[in-house]
Structure 1
Amino acid sequence: MHPHIEHVLRDLGPELFGWMMSSLGSETEAGDAFSLFAEELWKSLARYDGRCSMRTWCYMLARHTVARARAARANERLVPIGEGRFSEVAAEVRETTLRHLRTDAKDRVRALREQLDPDDRELLVLRVDKDLGWRDIALVMLGEGTSDEALTRHAAVLRKRFERVKKQLRARYGVIG
């Protein structure tokens, strides 16, 4: 196993897997998606040019993996689980993260988030929980080939959308500062 990949999976894996759980709403689907993400991370190393942080790069890859899992669910197809060299580390990260995520308070917050549109939920998690910057979120959403100008424009759109989501949550539930 490439030592850098193992380090990235151990360092960012719990955070990413937790995000996949909140995005997909299913331990099984998130576990499958996380395994695929680990394989995608390995395959993408040659394309990673340092334009963004490794964390942002991983969220971009994870978002694409989650989208594939959603599409597979919609088409009632199973997403194959990767059985490559990273499956052991991915399994270890999944189990550790699942133990951490299983609490009553986190379940209540998760239930509130599940009432949001999936794109709004994703935006909320990336900004509030993961503390990504607006350009990083735009890159996660739009992908690696996006121009700097398009990232700047989309970051502004995301900021406005985030404000609408906050107002919606405040009005309904009195949450989000």
Structure 2
Amino acid sequence: MDEERHEVEDRIQAAAKAGQLGEAATLGLGHYGPELLGYLVAITRDEVTANEVFSMLAEDMWRGLAGFRWECTFRTWAYGLARSATSRYRRDAFRRHAVALDDSGYAEVLARLRSTTATYMRTETKDKIARIRAELDPDDQTLLILRINRNLGWREIARVFAEADGEPDAELDRRSAALRKRFERLKTELKKRAKAD
């Protein structure tokens, strides 16, 4: 973890442990929001959907922060929330709701992220990569984004893919190994697709 990220993680954790959950969530989204929203745009392939899922993620973060056990970084936990929110959104396509946030600083961060991330994501190269990635299932897309674009370690990725918090270390190790193998197979498949494109 680089020094800046380590410092941000420490500030988020200190705020949360001091009971300042709004500040902790605002710090977390302020720092990780652009990459989380970028991940959601890549996974959902639609900015409107990504914004709706991002709102669900923000609500989950707001509600879940008090129970977060700090067994992993805030960043890793946030990606787990993003993946979960995406799955929930896809399961219930008819459910559409707005998140009413009473903390103006928090709502302000969400609005700013939504307006700046979309233009960052639009480039010709990203469109080409997105075409290839669009053919993958959401879990394969998540694996690629977390490992390549976000540089998460294998245990962190295993925690994102975990079905429940607090999985035993042996289970995380098994999941990490399985994800590494899946990643290698995925790289081989993507190379074939890139040559054919």
Q: Under a length normalisation based on structure 2, what TM-score does the superposition of the two structures give? A: 0.82
Identical-pair percentage: 39
Equivalent position of 1:110 in the other structure: 130
Instruction: Report the alpha carbon displacement of residue 104 of structure 1 after superposing the two structures with TM.
Output: 1.6
CA contact (8 A) 1:138 1:151 kept: yes
Equivalent position of 2:30 in the other structure: 10
**SS in structure 1 opposite 2:112?**
helix
Larger radius of gyration: 2
Runs of 4+ aligned residues of structure 1 deviating over 6 Å after TM superposition are none
Equivalent position of 2:53 in the other structure: 33
CA contact (8 A) 1:39 1:82 kept: yes
Deviation string 1:138-173 (CA, Å, 9 cap, x unpaired) is: 110113132221111001000000000001011221
Equivalent position of 1:80 in the other structure: 97
Instruction: Tell me whether 1:48 sits opposite 2:65 in the alignment.
Output: no
Provide the alpha-carbon RMSD of the alignment.
1.6
Instruction: Tell me whether 1:161 sits opposite 2:182 in the alignment.
Output: yes
**SS in structure 2 opposite 1:45?**
helix
**SS in structure 1 opposite 2:66?**
coil
AA in 1 matched with 2:98: I
Identify the range of structure 1 (46-55 vs 84-93) with the bigger mean alpha-carbon deviation.
84-93
CA contact (8 A) 2:71 2:166 kept: no
Q: State how many pairs are aligned.
A: 172
CA contact (8 A) 1:14 1:93 kept: yes
AA in 1 matched with 2:186: V
- Runs (5+) with no aligned partner, structure 1: none
Deviation string 1:33-65 (CA, Å, 9 cap, x unpaired) is: 111111111111111122101100100111111
Instruction: Report the alpha carbon displacement of residue 174 of structure 1 after superposing the two structures with TM.
Output: 4.2
**SS in structure 2 opposite 1:146?**
coil
Identify the range of structure 1 (77-86 vs 119-128) with the bigger mean alpha-carbon deviation.
77-86
- Runs (5+) with no aligned partner, structure 2: 1-20
Equivalent position of 2:168 in the other structure: 147
AA in 2 matched with 1:168: E
Instruction: Report the alpha carbon displacement of residue 25 of structure 1 after superposing the two structures with TM.
Output: 1.0
**SS in structure 2 opposite 1:81?**
coil
Equivalent position of 2:5 in the other structure: none
Instruction: Report the alpha carbon displacement of residue 78 of structure 1 after superposing the two structures with TM.
Output: 2.8
| Pairing of 1:95-134 with structure 2 (within 5 A) | 95-134=115-154
Work out which structure has the larger RCO, using CA pairs closer than 8 Å and 6 or more positions apart in sequence.
Answer: 1
Instruction: Tell me whether 1:20 sits opposite 2:20 in the alignment.
Output: no
